[in-house]
Structure 1
Amino acid sequence: MSLDTIQQDRSQASATGVPADQISTGADLEELEARFRPIFARIHETARERDRERRLPRTEIDELRRAGFGALRVPKVFGGAGASITQLTGLLTELSAADPNVNQALRGHLAFVEDRLWQHRDTDQSRWFHRFVAGDLVGNAWTEVGDVRVGEVQTRVTRQSDGDYLASGRKYYTTGSIFADWIDLYAQRAEDGVPVIAAVSTHQDGVVIENDWNGFGQRTTGSGTTILQDARVAPEEITVFAERFPYQTAFYQLSHLASQAGIARGAVDELVELVRQRVRVYSHGSSARWHEDPLVLQQVGIADAEAFAARTTAERVGETLQQLYLAHCRGDGAREREFVDAGELDASRGQSVNTKLSLDVATRIFNALGASAASEDLGLDRHWRNARTVSSHNPVIFKERVIGDWLVNGTPLPYAWAIGRERDEQGARA
């Protein structure tokens, strides 16, 4: 189908929804698994070493990019795979079993793709779809640290006489931007104070990205500082933040759920091999052979069941968000509103569940192996460090409170939130 035909279909469909062939309803999963599982295996081979050395997965991400991983959700008519969110979740879980840091590094890109899919119902996004298919990746630059109060943003985009904008500011936790061609930048438009999203090309002198993330987990996600100094942005690459896809918080959390599920599965896979190989036993154990000890096997079984539950939870959330996406594309406003709430609620529930499951698995593996499992050569501690870190980004204590408040009091769910210093209001300490 020609680009002219696609654009004509778009103009005719704006009132009723997206043309059927421009909706990502699902791909040939067996083909996707055959394409990406060998890459996942190669990523796993170097994961332990890269974690130990804090070496960024540039080669690994580039291989995924060239294989079309960044275009999984792009509709087939534009050259993408047309995968559903549920299918994407399964693949992200498998990728995270190999190395959850790579999934985390691509989180901002996948969310930006999802927003382009959402916007496509009302505004043609084919130029972005073609960029994704060509291999362009998008990083994330939203959070500011330091003397910034909740709800405020210091980064500005300022309109110039030629119509372009210049972006200036400093961001931290800019996950994935060090690997990316574009930055998904949250800023304030100087001319009217409106919060906006600016797609900023990283291929210019005004963008400096530093690998200064020093977390004890997720060491190789590239989640450091991005500095923008008069970085040029075309006006068509700026959108109003309020128009962002409404399930963005749930979608970002879905990436974490897949990471947690993958961490659990990766830990179980290593546990199984180590139990099979172990020959030393305890005099007060339950068997003369470690791999036949019923208590050891019980620990393996529980860990496997928890990993299964974590993946099932993540995929359930993915299916809810897929139904929301489909309702929007088809112009079904009632179902769209229904699934906006369901998506946020399911993602919050999933966070509560998968946080506990992933951390339990990452601890349980040591119960089934003994002190030798603490060897740095094995690197088993990375599973717990990664699980603990990914589970700390969006504090689960607040999400669990949100669930209870919604159930008991009918309090609306938060679809976007911010972090910063306390507000100076009603006597609160600034």
Structure 2
Amino acid sequence: MNLPIRHLPPARAESPDYEQLAARFRPIFTRIAEGALERERNRNLPYAPIAWLKEAGFGAVRVPVAFGGAGASLPQLVQLLIELAAADSNLPQALRGHFAFVEDRLNAHASASQQIWFERFVASDLVGNAWTEIGTVKLGEVITRVSRKNGEWRLNGTKYYSTGSLFADWIDVYAQRDDTGGDVIAAIRTDQPGVRQSDDWDGFGQRTTASGTSVFEDVVVEPDNLIDFATRFKYQTAFYQLVLLAVITGSGQAAVREFAGEVRGRTRIYSHGNASAASADPQVQQVVGKASAFVYAAEAATLAAAVAAQAAFEARYAGDAAAEHDANVAAELESAQAQSAVAELVLRATSDLFNALGASATSTRKGLDRHWRNARTAASHNPLIYKERIVGAWEIEGSEPPFVWQIGGGSKQG
């Protein structure tokens, strides 16, 4: 498909009706949920579910309608990711890098390159993620390099936590140019010579996100796919956090659904209980009801933060630099506030729900613990303590949040 180059439609273009949009994907979400427990038990990576989502155009929901996508707003995307996470929380996290790359292309200046990426997204191409380095890398360093060799750009390095890249057609690699030292994004195909990927993620939760190691050895990077990191969309940290909030919230929804089902089917009762059936016991009902309320509040906080990110996206095209800056600050702060609230609410809910059942709820066959483990793992990204301090510094001193941060080795003293 070769469309003539066009500028993006207005940022405030009408979004599709959410229920109509979600109806396209809910049968797939149901199918995904049916196999989630088995994939968890056997640690089977969800290649088939990812293929179902690709075929249905899920990866292009944010692409403008004029370019063949669904034109969804950010709140609609996040709500879809919550529904997907309630089916299997591994999947939205596996797609986190893809949707971030889509968002970056949406924020890019209209160009031939931008249109080419839109066409790829609509054709079901997915983009994985390879940013993090561990080991001897120091804070602020990037060991992965892009350099000139025989007239071509070549990528060399090793990345860890390459979430979703095993399912992807492309990988978004964070690197440095050898010639200028500038930070770049190198977009390379996963089937290129010199790309090696592993499924070596060993976390106790989110076990099927394919968050493994990626090795790049003299991988050719096309000049058009070498993107200056300084042009990256400004609310990216908030966006990445929004996907994790959707993962955590969906984990909570799945926990409430499954624990409520266990209570309905429970025949054993305690002599010191309050009813002849566990499902009629008011204290058990209270446990489930409170957890449901916590998860409801988590969803509300997540969607409110998504509205702030949508405002930052729209401000990108409004022509007012000061207003855009303020919108980016608000998006970052609201995602941090939501992060603190959502993590606490859902981790509490997914733990307290065990009070509604007996010791049989801890059966590994039932896998009810996976919801807490998955939420705990997602909540361990982007440490809460630092985000809470950032929000506190804003409230007290008006200190602006950092929009990009890094992790690496520090210097030990003494």
TM range, smaller chain = over 0.9
Partner AA of 1:357 in structure 2: L
* SS in structure 1 of the partner of residue 196 of structure 2: strand
TM-score by length of 1: 0.93
Distance 2:49 2:14 in 1: 28
The letter for the 2-side match of 1:230 is: D
Residue 363 of structure 1: aligned partner = 351
Does 2:160 correspond to 1:172?
yes
Deviations 1:128-179 (A, max 9, x none): 00000001000000000100111101000112343x3110000000001111
RMSD between aligned alpha carbons?
1.6
Please name the residue that 1:214 is paired with.
202
Equivalent in 256, 267, 273 of residue 255 of structure 2: 267
Counterparts of 1:120 and 1:266, CA distance in 2:
39
Q: Do structure 1's residue 354 and structure 2's residue 336 form an aligned pair?
A: no
What amino acid is aligned across from residue 247 of structure 2 in structure 1? S
- Please give the secondary structure, in 2, of the residue aligned with 1:377: coil
- Could you say which residue in structure 1 is the equivalent of 2:237? 249
Q: Does 2:114 match 1:118?
A: no
Structure 2, unmatched stretches of 5+, are none
Counterpart contact for 1:58–1:179, Cα < 8 Å: yes
Letter in 2 for 1:74: V
Residue 377 of structure 1: how far off its partner (Å): 1.4
Q: Does the C-alpha gap of structure 1 residues 429 and 199 become closer, same or farther in structure 2, counting only changes over 3 Å?
A: farther
Give runs of aligned pairs for residues 173-212 of structure 1, distance below 5 A.
173-212=161-200
Three-state SS of the structure 1 residue aligned to 2:253 is: helix
Q: 2:291 aligns with which of 300, 303, 306?
A: 303
Q: Which runs of 5+ in 1 are unaligned?
A: 11-17
Task: Give the structure 1 partner of residue 34 of structure 2.
Answer: 45
Alignment of structure 1 residues 258-407 onto 2, 5 Å: 258-407=246-395
**1:220 is aligned with what amino acid?**
T
Deviations 1:359-391 (A, max 9, x none): 111101100012110111110010011011111
Q: 1:336 to 1:265 in 2, by over 3 A?
A: same
Identity across the alignment (%):
52
TM-score (norm: length of structure 2) = 0.97
Cα deviation digits, residues 5-45 of structure 1 (max 9, x gap): x43xx3xxxxxxx442x766422322221110110011111
Q: Within 1, Cα distance between the matches of 2:42 and 2:109?
A: 42
Q: Distance in 2 between matches of 1:124 and 1:227?
A: 26
How far, CA to CA, are the matches of 1:281 and 1:381 in structure 2?
A: 22
Could you say if the C-alpha distance between residues 153 and 177 of structure 1 is closer, same or farther in structure 2, counting changes exceeding 3 Å?
Answer: same
Match runs of 1:144-159 below 5 Å: 144-159=133-148
Q: Does 1:136 align with 2:95?
A: no
Please tell me whether the aligned partners of residues 74 and 80 of structure 1 are also in contact (alpha carbons under 8 angstroms).
yes
What secondary structure is seen at the aligned counterpart in 2 of 1:125?
Answer: helix
Following superposition, the deviation at residue 197 of structure 1 comes to 0.7
SS at 1:329 equivalent: coil
1:3 matched to which residue of 2?
3
What's the CA shift for 1:429?
Answer: 3.5
> Residue deviations 1:327-376, cap 9 Å, x none?
21233433311210100000000110011111111101100012110111
Range with greater deviation from structure 2 (173-182 or 22-31): 22-31
The number of aligned residues is: 414
Secondary structure of 1:30's counterpart equals helix
* Residue equivalent to 1:89: 78
Deviations 1:22-76 (A, max 9, x none): 7664223222211101100111111111011111000000100110010010000
CA contact (8 A) 1:249 1:415 kept: yes
Which AA in structure 2 matches 1:3? Answer: L
For the pair 1:414 / 2:368, whether they are aligned, the reply is no
The DSSP-based 3-state class of the residue aligned with 1:230 is: strand
AA aligned to 2:86 is A
Aligned residue in 1 for 2:57: 68
8 Å CA contact retained: 1:24, 1:74: no
